Structure 1
Amino acid sequence: MAIPETRTAVEWLVSAAPDPEACRSQWERNPLGVALLPAGRRWDVLILPGELGQTTLDVLNPLLDRPGPVLADFGDSRLGFFVPPGTASRWVGTGVRGAGRGTWIVVPYPGRATGGVRWLVLPDGQGTLTDPVVLELAMHEAAARVVAEEDRKP
């Protein structure tokens, strides 16, 4: 039986699907524990390169009570930050990809181990998303930290 936090996260995630009941049913039976969900309805996803993304998350954590959901792909080579719908179409940033209306993302079942994509920050089930302005500021700070760290290397 799913714990209440997982259940509310699942309900919120599948609410983005064209057919939430079918999505939930398929997702729960999928041996890989992943589903394809459309971006642009409940959220967009900004996808950052791994080192910048992880450092950005490190900057965000002390700034926010709770950032929005964050995904990491296999090997943490990319991190996806869930932001309000419409953000991806307006975002301009070198090395940052956006998944918005018309795109689909691979989403792991909350609380279930998968062989690839995983949650670094689980959805809270209430629709909390990362404010894109705060995310952009955190990215600037993170980029400065990454450059400073590279400058320290011999």
Structure 2
Amino acid sequence: MTSGAGARAAVEWLASAAPDPDACRWEWERGPRGIALLPAGRRWDVLILPGELGHPTLDVLTRLVDRPGPVLSDFGDARMGFFVPPGTAGRWVGTGVRGVGRGAWIVVPHPGRRAVVGGVRWLIPPDGTGTLNDAALLELAMHEAAAVRAEGGGD
């Protein structure tokens, strides 16, 4: 999990997407759930994959890059959200993958806490530098994960 200066940088990076960054930080620090609603499409878009594809995709992605960009998971790991560059959601074509971009909002937990809050948790928290998942690499990882599952090598 992100700690210390990394967590503070991640908080600032995420909050910079909010219409009111101070209110966003307040919600994380003092709100009863420790979550904030943040708009997609400014600093990032999110591609939401079903968990049965998302987990093997993340496994492949972690073999391809030293550190993937931010990834969220909902309670029960039914869905996973991969943070990708803004504009990706509007161009994405893929069955079973939901793109969240400009005009949509996502629930985001505090990046420095382990607890599952509001039914959402970080699998890969943001690093505070703005690193995102490369959409082309993510697509390749999804194809490889789907192929392994189709061959019976998945869960």
Cα deviation digits, residues 86-145 of structure 1 (max 9, x gap): 000000000000100000000011122124100000100000001100000000000011
TM-score by length of 2: 0.93
Cα deviation digits, residues 67-102 of structure 1 (max 9, x gap): 110000010000000000000000000000010000
Classify the secondary structure of the residue corresponding to 1:149: coil
TM-score by length of 1: 0.93
1:27 is displaced (CA, Å) by 2.2
The one-letter code sitting in structure 2 at the alignment partner of 1:148 is E
Classify the secondary structure of the residue corresponding to 2:151: helix
Q: As a proportion of its length, which structure holds more helix?
A: 1
The one-letter code sitting in structure 1 at the alignment partner of 2:4 is I
What runs of 5+ residues in structure 1 fail to find an aligned partner?
Answer: none
For residues 35 and 8 of structure 2, the distance between their equivalents in structure 1, rounded to whole angstroms, comes to 15
1:26 is displaced (CA, Å) by 2.4
1:108 aligns with 2:90: no
What runs of 5+ residues in structure 2 fail to find an aligned partner?
Answer: none
Matching residue within 127, 144, 147 for 1:144: 147
- In terms of Rg, which structure is larger? 1
Matching residue within 117, 122, 129 for 1:119: 122
Conserved 8 A contact 2:75-2:116: no
Aligned-residue RMSD, C-alpha: 1.5
> Within 5 A, what are the aligned runs for 1:4-153?
4-112=5-113, 113-115=115-117, 116-149=119-152
Identity, % of aligned positions? 72
Q: Which runs of 4+ in 1 moved over 4 A?
A: none
Deviates more, 1:15-24 or 1:44-53: 15-24
Conserved 8 A contact 1:59-1:142: yes
